[in-house]
Chains A and B, each alone.
Chain A
Amino acid sequence: QKEVEQDPGPLSVPEGAIVSLNCTYSNSAFQYFMWYRQYSRKGPELLMYTYSSGNKEDGRFTAQVDKSSKYISLFIRDSQPSDSATYLCAMSDDNYGQNFVFGPGTRLSVLP
């Protein structure tokens, strides 16, 4: 079993749709959770950062963590064609530690 699993997609949605992107993980020690957005031929950019369980909202983006289920989600409301990118989840067990793991990424296309 991989440490972090993520549906690779591609996921295609119409403009304006609500998008749900998800990751599952196996290491219960993970406490810090991140979502990165990566446009084609560019480096990943940090989108959301959360600690432990709960929700965090930033504009159209909401990150949700359920540690009991080892499941994290990123919701995008009112999706736009500019949201078309690959989304990678990442997690770490320690704020300063070396154990920092990425999911393989989900490719999202938002169609106008």
Chain B
Amino acid sequence: DVKVTQSSRYLVKRTGEKVFLECVQDMDHENMFWYRQDPGLGLRLIYFSYDVKMKEKGDIPEGYSVSREKKERFSLILESASTNQTSMYLCASRTTARAFFGQGTRLTVV
């Protein structure tokens, strides 16, 4: 089975902090994605990467950056956390049309 692992299930951070969310997949997938999920808004794509050191902006990249130094690892960075970034963050990976998700990180910014 494909495994996508996110480094934390729950995080609480203060406004202005730099926040790192880590995601690791074990199936040699080329494509990796970061989404945020909010009630009533569904899944919104923040960034994706289709190869090492490659990245593309999704629908809501503002306030975020990403890093993909190794194929299996895709990091989401909140440069200066704000309260409106409180959300559920989901990492996914895929090669074919089937995407596999991590367990999610519930981030609260206070």
Contact = CB atoms under 8 A, between A and B. Distances in A.
A109 to B, nearest CB: 16
A34 to B, nearest CB: 7
Contacts of A34: 97-99
Contacts of B6: 43
Interface string A14-48: 00000000000000000010101000011111100
B97 A98 contact: no
Contact of B101 (A41, A43, A95, A105): A43
Contacts of B88: 41
A95 B96 contact: yes
A43 B42 contact: no
Contacts of A102: 42-43
Nearest to B104: A43
B94 to A, nearest CB: 8
A104 to B, nearest CB: 4
Given A88-B43, A103-B42, A96 B100 contact: no
Given A43-B6, A92-B97, A98-B50, 15 more contacts: A32-B97, A34-B98, A41-B88, A41-B104, A43-B4, A43-B103, A49-B98, A96-B97, A98-B31, A98-B48, A98-B56, A100-B94, A102-B42, A104-B40, A104-B42
12 contacts: A42-B104, A43-B4, A43-B103, A44-B101, A46-B99, A49-B97, A92-B97, A96-B96, A96-B97, A100-B97, A102-B42, A104-B40
